[in-house]
Amino acid sequence: MCFLVRVCFLLFVALTLAAGVSAGKERRNVLFIIADDLRTSLGCYGDSVVKSPNIDQLASKSQVFLNAYAQQAVCAPSRTSMLTSRRPDTTRLYDFSSYWRVHAGNYTTLPQHLKSQGYVTMSVGKVFHQGIASNFTDDFPYSWSVPAYHPPSYHYENLEMCRGKDGALHRNLLCAVNVSEQPGAVLPDMESAAQAVGLLKSRRGAEQPFFLAVGFHKPHIPFRIPQEYLSLYPLDKMTLAPDPDVPELLPPVAYNPWMDLKVRDDVRQLNTSFPYGPIPKDFQLLIRQHYYAAVSYVDAQVGRLLTALDELGLSNDTMVVLTSDHGWSLGEHGEWAKYSNFNVATQVPLMFYVPGVTSDRPAASTFPFVDVFSQSERSFKNDRVVKNMVELVDVFPTISSLVGLKAPGPCPEVSLKVELCTEGSNRASTFRRREKRPNKEHIAFSQYPRPADTPQLNSDLPLLKDIKVMGYSMRTWDYRYTLWVGFNPATFQANMTDVHGGELYMLADDPGEDFNIYSILEHVPIVTKVDALPQTVSVQERMKLQLLYLTAGMKVSGGKA
Q: Which run of H or E residues covers position 201? A: helix 188-203
Q: How many CB atoms lie within 10 A of CB 210?
A: 24
H-assigned helices in 451-561? 524-531, 539-556
- Selecting among 8, 44, 113, 129, the annotated active-site residue is 129
110-121 burial code (b ≥16 CB/10 A, e <16): bbbbbbebbbbb
- Residue 8 falls in the annotated catalytic set: no
What is d(CA 251, CA 514) in angstroms, rounded to the nearest whole number?
12
- Residue 103 falls in the annotated catalytic set: no
H-assigned helices in 381-491? 395-402
CA dist 425 to 82, 327, 408, 507, Å?
A: 12, 21, 10, 24
What is d(CA 282, CA 280) in angstroms, rounded to the nearest whole number?
6
What is d(CA 95, CA 98) in angstroms, rounded to the nearest whole number?
8
- Answer whether the bond into residue 275 is a cis peptide, omega within 30°: yes
- Strand 493-506 versus strand 479-488 pairing type: antiparallel
Contacts of 434 by beta carbon, 8 Å cutoff, 6+ apart = 383, 384
| Beta-bridge partner residues of 473 | 446, 482
Residue length of the chain:
561
Longest CA–CA span in the chain (Å) reads: 71
What is d(CA 518, CA 550) in angstroms, rounded to the nearest whole number?
9
- Selecting among 44, 75, 162, 175, the annotated active-site residue is 75
Instruction: Please check whether residue 54 is in contact with residue 367, taking contact to mean a CB–CB distance below 8 angstroms.
Output: yes
Give the closest residue to 392 by CA, choosing from 93, 126, 79, 133: 79
Q: Is the dihedral of CA 3, 141, 319, 23 positive or negative?
A: positive
Contacts of 503 by beta carbon, 8 Å cutoff, 6+ apart = 250, 251, 254, 341, 473, 480, 481, 482, 513, 516, 518
H-assigned helices in 226-278? 259-262, 265-268
H-assigned helices in 269-394? 281-311, 343-346
What is d(CA 33, CA 38) in angstroms, rounded to the nearest whole number?
12
Instruction: Please check whether residue 299 is in contact with residue 372, taking contact to mean a CB–CB distance below 8 angstroms.
Output: yes
Q: Is the dihedral of CA 81, 84, 90, 94 positive or negative?
A: negative
What is d(CA 467, CA 448) in angstroms, rounded to the nearest whole number?
10
Q: Which residues are catalytic?
A: 75, 129
